[in-house]
Amino acid sequence: MTHSISRRALFAGGASALALGALAACSSPSTPNPRSGATGTVSYWLWDANQLPAYQAVAKAFERENPDIRIRITQLGWNDYWTKLTAGFIAGTAPDVFTDHLSKFPQFADLDVLYKLDELEATSTIRDDDYQSGLAQLWKGRDGHRYGSPKDWDTVAMFYDRNVIAKAGYTAEDLAALEWNPDDGGTFERAVAHLTIDSKGRRGDEPGFDKSNVAVYGMSANGSGGDGFGQTQWSPFTGSIDWFYTNKNPWGNAFRYDDPAFQKTISWYFGLAEKGYMPKYGVFSTTTGPDVQLGSKKVALSFNGSWMIGAYANLQGVDVAIAPTPKGPIGHRASMFNGLGDSITKQARNPEAAAKWVAFLGSAAAQEIVGRAGIVFPARRSGTDAAVAAFRERGLDVSAFTEQVADGTTFLFPVTRNPADVQALVQPAFDGIYANGKPVSSLTGVNEQVNTLLALT
């Protein structure tokens, strides 16, 4: 979460694919040599520095209840996290427990480096209905076993500066009522055009607007989306045309990037950059995320995930507010519903002690501690309620994120086999469309390659 585009992005590519290949060859044995009794020290890795204090508080609460177990927390930046975790699996230095991602666990489960949580006593009682709808089911592998305990969840919404929006003549109610379609963009595109201002002060919907010299873009850019299923880029739009990535979820065996409606939506989305309403590729560096763009007054609307609420709230000189994603052709808005989990590695020195820690992490007591920190939305409903209250105390209305869950207008993160290999094919294709103007129809050939890959595994 220290990088605005990275927390939910898929991590893969050439180097990691090679590492995973080595991991397959050096996979831990299915039966480790655990010590008896739930005692000792449990090592726990996470990547979000913002959440570290909350989890240190959770660890203290756990140790009070379990005086024979100590928790040792290590926080690593996102750019190092997965590389060091994979290297740890190979070298035998992996942590006992780590924060896991839905884009990673399928490959780890297939490589047999994770414990099945339903086969450890302390975590065998995890129930799907203890958590927000759908989250717990996503952590079950193709074999039906659970590999992660739900930790938190996220959706996507639009951040904005109240002063900028008011100056343009819009209200919060206006933003909440925006609608889009892939033909003319609807009221959403008209708003984005009006919010765009060129270097001479002309708005995007005014005569003489110069799309080659834009001072303020109507909406933010966040890469092509090819590295993470377009979660904070185009997924709110493709989700609101009643399209999904695969033929089923979880464990779909065929992607649908060749769908004509999907390709039409992608063409419209990246067409906003051609019109000057959204930054083209390269206008901002890859480290200048949507939050930084909003904070520098370079964009008016900034799409991002709920894990970034704190980053936006801390922007200097910005009166931050949050609007829901626009409604689509199917008559309602849509957002990806994603979640993190906690997994136990087969290198855990004491699996049952690790399982007690994971069970506590998934408990109402722990998730309410995290919720009160006001950083993310914990997976349990009581934890979510605590987070909403914490944000409210800071003057933030986060209903744009929570209402989609309550209204059932979310779609779950796609879980599929070999996500690293899938991304290695998909990311260059979307980068090519955004950065190099390749035709959207090129996704059809890529879709065939991805489905061939899945058919062979």
Q: Is residue 9 a part of any domain in this protein?
A: no
Q: What's the average model confidence in pLDDT over 331-354? A: 96
Count the alpha carbons within 13 Å of 382 in the hemisphere toward its beta carbon: 10
Give the DSSP H/E element, type plus range, for residue 377.
Answer: strand 377-378
Q: Is residue 103 a part of any domain in this protein?
A: yes
Phi, psi of 447 (to 5 degrees): -60, -40
Evaluate the CA torsion angle 3, 292, 337, 434 in order and state its sign: negative
**200 and 239 housed in the same domain:** yes
Q: Is residue 108 a part of any domain in this protein?
A: yes
pLDDT at residue 61, as a whole number: 98
Strands, DSSP E only, in 61-106? 69-75, 97-100
In this predicted structure, the answer to whether residue 408 has a pLDDT above a threshold of 70 is yes
In this predicted structure, the answer to whether residue 13 has a pLDDT above a threshold of 90 is no
**150 and 31 housed in the same domain:** yes
Q: Is residue 144 a part of any domain in this protein?
A: yes
Q: What's the average model confidence in pLDDT over 295-309? A: 97
pLDDT at residue 383, as a whole number: 98
In this predicted structure, the answer to whether residue 27 has a pLDDT above a threshold of 80 is no
Q: Residue 364 burial (CB < 10 Å; 0-12/13-18/19+)?
A: middle
Rg of the chain (C-alpha set): 22
In this predicted structure, the answer to whether residue 211 has a pLDDT above a threshold of 50 is yes
Give the pairing of strands 40-46 and 97-100.
parallel
Last residue of a domain, one of 397, 426, 445: 397
**27 and 130 housed in the same domain:** yes
pLDDT bin (cut points 50, 70, 90) of residue 38 is confident
Q: What's the average model confidence in pLDDT over 410-416? A: 93
Cα–Cα distance measured from residue 447 to residue 211, given in angstroms and rounded to the nearest whole number = 33
pLDDT at residue 227, as a whole number: 83
pLDDT at residue 293, as a whole number: 98
| Beta carbons within 8 Å of 194's beta carbon, 6+ residues apart | 168, 169, 203, 204, 205, 218
pLDDT at residue 400, as a whole number: 98
Q: What is the pTM for the complete model shown?
A: 0.90
**252 and 203 housed in the same domain:** yes
Question: Number of folded domains in the chain?
Answer: 2
Q: What's the average model confidence in pLDDT over 102-123? A: 94
In this predicted structure, the answer to whether residue 33 has a pLDDT above a threshold of 50 is no
Contact predicate 146/118, CB 8 Å: yes
pLDDT at residue 32, as a whole number: 43
Minimum mean pLDDT range among 131-135, 252-256, 313-317, 417-421: 417-421
Q: Examine residue 95 and say whether the peptide bond preceding it is cis (omega within 30 degrees of 0).
A: no
**Across the chain, what does the average pLDDT equal?**
92
Residue with token string 């919907």: 205
Q: How crowded is residue 163: how many other Cβ atoms within 10 Å of its Cβ?
A: 13
Q: Is residue 409 a part of any domain in this protein?
A: no
Phi, psi of 255 (to 5 degrees): -85, 165
**422 and 390 housed in the same domain:** no
- DSSP code for 207: T
Q: What's the average model confidence in pLDDT over 125-153? A: 95
- DSSP code for 119: G
Q: Is residue 255 a part of any domain in this protein?
A: yes
DSSP string, 394-438: TT---HHHHHHHHHT-EEEPP-BS-HHHHHHHHHHHHHHHHHH--
CATH of the domain at 53: 3.40.190.10
- Percent of the chain residues past pLDDT 90, beyond the cut: 88
Q: What's the average model confidence in pLDDT over 124-142? A: 94
- DSSP code for 175: H
pLDDT bin (cut points 50, 70, 90) of residue 22 is low
**309 and 432 housed in the same domain:** yes
Contact predicate 19/90, CB 8 Å: yes
The token pair at 320 is 């931050």
Helix (H, G, I), strand (E, B) or coil at 83: helix
Cα–Cα distance measured from residue 104 to residue 33, given in angstroms and rounded to the nearest whole number = 25
Contact predicate 262/256, CB 8 Å: yes
Contact predicate 32/342, CB 8 Å: no
Cα–Cα distance measured from residue 394 to residue 391, given in angstroms and rounded to the nearest whole number = 5
In this predicted structure, the answer to whether residue 112 has a pLDDT above a threshold of 50 is yes
Nearest residue to 396 (alpha-carbon basis) of 299, 339, 311, 301: 311
**320 and 270 housed in the same domain:** yes
Nearest residue to 336 (alpha-carbon basis) of 163, 154, 90, 207: 154
Contact predicate 216/297, CB 8 Å: yes
Q: Examine residue 439 and say whether the peptide bond preceding it is cis (omega within 30 degrees of 0).
A: no
pLDDT bin (cut points 50, 70, 90) of residue 443 is very high
**124 and 40 housed in the same domain:** yes
The token pair at 252 is 């779909």
Domain that holds residue 368: 14-154+338-397
In this predicted structure, the answer to whether residue 19 has a pLDDT above a threshold of 90 is no
**372 and 445 housed in the same domain:** no
Residue with token string 């900034």: 302
**131 and 183 housed in the same domain:** no
Residues 229-276 pLDDT 10s: 999 999 999 999 999 999 999 999 999 999 999 999 999 999 999 999
In this predicted structure, the answer to whether residue 407 has a pLDDT above a threshold of 90 is yes
| Beta carbons within 8 Å of 249's beta carbon, 6+ residues apart | 412, 414, 415
**21 and 70 housed in the same domain:** yes
**141 and 190 housed in the same domain:** no
pLDDT at residue 420, as a whole number: 85
The token pair at 81 is 């996290």
Q: Is residue 209 a part of any domain in this protein?
A: yes
In this predicted structure, the answer to whether residue 20 has a pLDDT above a threshold of 90 is no
Cα–Cα distance measured from residue 344 to residue 327, given in angstroms and rounded to the nearest whole number = 40
pLDDT at residue 55, as a whole number: 98
Q: Is residue 37 a part of any domain in this protein?
A: yes
> Which is more confident, 109 or 9?
109
